[in-house]
Each structure stands twice: as structure tokens, then as C-alpha cells.
Structure 1
Amino acid sequence: MAKVHPNRVDSDLPATSAPAAAYGTGGEGAAVLTVWRKSLLLNFDGFTVFDAKGDLVFRVDNYASGSRWEVVLMGAAGEPLLTIRRKKLSLGEHWLVYEGEGGDRPRFSVKKHANVLQGKALAQVTRCGLDAEGGGTYEVEGSYARRCCAVYDEQRRVVAEIKRKEATGGVRFGGDVFRLVVQPGFDAAVAMAIVVLLEQMFG
């Protein structure tokens, strides 16, 4: 059976208060993360994410333990990096992404595209508050079911991609294991939050 990643998870990893910007970039290159659609905890849904060295960098464990209206993206040691909340009483699917355990001021607003005529358009990600000063809107396009998606900035540059992962020998893992490629300058934690939201919208 193909191995997702060999490295163990250390229980005494130091906690960090801010999301990492580019795990496993190796300097100037893009960060290539392996996303496993499985929680580290038994009987829980979620995600486990490894960097290029096989070290744990992100995890989501709380789908089954609480409401699907709120999901927390955590670091390797279980520290909350981003809190994703569905906006109530809104038309369509509208989510807000907060720093850490949440608060009153979201960093991002994410809306699911409802117009089927837009083809490959899946969602729109808009910066909020202070984050908006660094750029405005991102478009997510492709097919999440096929694990083939891209996140574009306002200049139509790809800042993150979801791709199928192939094991050694060309054996496919299927949809539960895939790659998340994050370009330099784009927050890897935000890219992973977009993956979580696509799972909520289209999973």
C-alpha cells in the first residue's frame, strides 16, 4: 500500500501564534504540501497536511465534534491558526475566515459561485479589513471533485493549485490524498483554508 508520508507527529511541537506563510518552499520555489482528507483522531473527519519533508504542518479535526458551521484550521501542535465560519442569514453559501480562534473582524470573505453558467468558477475570495490593503479579490476555478483547481489573483496569476498526487510507480491515491501547491508570497494557511471551504461547498 502506498504511504502518504512516513514521518511521525511529535506531541511536543512548539506552538506558534501566527499562520506560516510558506511551508516547505525551499527558498524561492513554491510550497508543495500533501493533503490527506483524514483526521489524526479516530472517528473524526478532517484533514492532515504534510510538507515536502513529510512533517505535519496543518490539521483539521473538528468536523464530527461540532457544527459544520464552524471549522478551525490548526497548526501541527493543535494551535488555532484560522477559524472558518459560515455566515448565517445570507443568500447562497457565504463564509468568513478569522485569525486564530475567531473574533469580530474577518480576514477573508468567501462566497460560492451560484451561477452554473460561469463554468469552472467555484468561489470568490475577498480580503477584509487590513488584509484588503495588500490586494482585493481571488477567484477559485476548476473542479474540486477531480482535485484540479487553481486560485487566481486579480492579475490572473496562479497563487495556489490543487492537484492529484501520484505515488511511486504511478499508482493513484484517489481523491483522499492530493497536492496543494502554494506560490511564494501567498499564505499557505489561507490556501489550506480555501481547501477546507471547497470541501464544505463541494465535498
Structure 2
Amino acid sequence: MAKVHPSAAAAAAAAAACTGGGGVRPAAVLTVWRRSLLFNGNGFAVFDAKGNLVFRVDNYASGSKAEVLLMDAAGKPLLTIRRKKLSLKDQWLIYEGEEAANPRFAAKRHVSLLHHGALAHVTPCVSGAKPCHAYEIQGSYLQRCCAVVDDKRRQLMEIKRKEPAKGITFGLDVFRLIVQPGFDTSFAMAIVMLLEQMFGSPS
């Protein structure tokens, strides 16, 4: 089977394209494979430019997506995404590790045309703070062409299709996750997981 992770040269080229090739610290370029490492399970495996496993998601083989856990390569829990119960809108909460209280972020899916192409908003859960849309997700997850911007419209991460290699077409199950310096790669992957829950995609 062909390697799904990027070569170091390809990752460097993609990072340079994202940063303009200047002296700025390059973006992290990860390859996301929409497949669990567990036999016949659902989830994701995420690789760095050297082909090392960095994240894994393989904990909803039963088909339930009410709770999804992001782990590092060793299986350590990093972030948990849970669908908000008894909510009239499509909303999810992101927790640290496997905690069940004090969520870090709340996410809401948008289906209204009034949001001008926005797929969803992710807002920090800060007690006593006024609600604000800290991160906006734009584009099309089904087409693997979307980006996350902050409240100043700066692009923080991007999901892009992986280019064919040596005549091999990867389809939609293998794609690139480009994360700009300063943006947490585990949180970026949690956003990918959110999009999968919100919009899904064909196998």
C-alpha cells in the first residue's frame, strides 16, 4: 500500500507555500488518514512529515459519535469532544483529556445562508465572559477544502486535499492538515473531528 504521509521535501514545500518562503517559522503539515488503527473501526490516524504517528482517533467503532476522544501516538487522552445534550441546535463541547466538566470550547454548526459560507463557530468557554466567535470555520469539509480564521480574520489552519503521488489518487479519506505557527496542532485536529461529526463524509 502507498504511504499516506508526506515526504519531508513535500511538507517543506507546502509549508513554504503557506508562509511565503520567508524566514518565518514554517507551518506544521500533517497527513490525516480517515481510518482507525483498530481493525474494522472508525476514526483517524495522523502522521507528521517523517511518517511518525502523532495523533489517533479510534474510539467509536460502535458507530456512536456522541463522544470522541483524541489521543497521542501512545494512546494518552488529549481532548474529548461531546455532543451537547438537550440542545435545540447542533452544538458540541471540547474538554481537556477525558474530563466531563469545565469544557474548554463550545462549537456550533451553522446551516443558515446568513453566515456567508461559515460552517461553524468555535468559542472559548470562559465563565463570565461575553460570547464571542473566536474561531470561524469556512469552506467545505466534504470537499476537504476549508480553513479556520480567528476574530481578526487571520488564517490559523487549513484542510486541503492531498495531491496524487506516482499515479495514486488518495480520494477524500487522506488529506492534509496545515497548522500555522502558534496554533495548537491537537486543537486543530479536534476541529477536524468536529467537522467529521457535523458534516460527515462518504467512505
2:37 equivalent to 1:40: yes
Query: Partner residue of 1:149?
Result: 146
Residues 102-133 of structure 1: CA distance to partner in whole angstroms, max 9, x if unpaired? 23111111000131343421000011238x8x
Partners of 1:39 and 1:61 lie apart in 2 by 5
Match of 2:193 in 1: 196
Match of 2:66 in 1: 69
| CA-to-aligned-CA distance 1:31-87 (integer Å, 9 cap, x gap) | 000000000000110000001111000000012247311000000000100010000
State the structure with bigger RCO (CA 8 A, min sep 6), 1 or 2: 1
Partner of 2:106: 109
Count residues in correspondence: 181
Taking the aligned partners of 1:193 and 1:49, their CA distance within structure 2 comes to 12
Q: How does 1:115-130 map to 2 (within 5 A)?
A: 115-129=112-126
**Which residue in 2 is equivalent to 1:100?**
97
Amino acid at match of 1:127: P
The answer to whether structure 1 residue 167 and structure 2 residue 164 are counterparts is: yes
Using the size of structure 2 for normalisation, the TM-score is: 0.83
Partner of 2:182: 185
Q: CA deviation at 1:172?
A: 2.7
Q: Is the 8 A contact 1:149 1:162 kept in 2?
A: yes
Q: Contact conserved, 1:36 with 1:47, CA < 8 A, in 2?
A: yes
SS in structure 2 of the partner of residue 129 of structure 1: coil
Q: State whether structure 2 residue 5 is matched by structure 1 residue 2.
A: no
Runs of 4+ in 1 over 4 A off after TM superposition: none
What is the deviation of 1:91? Answer: 1.7
TM-superposed CA distance for 1:183, in Å, is 0.4
**TM-score, scaled to structure 1:** 0.83
> Root-mean-square deviation (CA), in Å?
2.2
Matched, 1:29 2:29: no
Q: 2: CA distance between counterparts of 1:195 and 1:148?
A: 12
1:198 offset after TM fit, Å? 0.5
The one-letter amino acid of 2:139's match is G
Structure 1: unaligned runs, 5 residues or longer:
7-26
Residues 105 and 129, structure 1, Cα contact 8 Å, conserved in 2: no
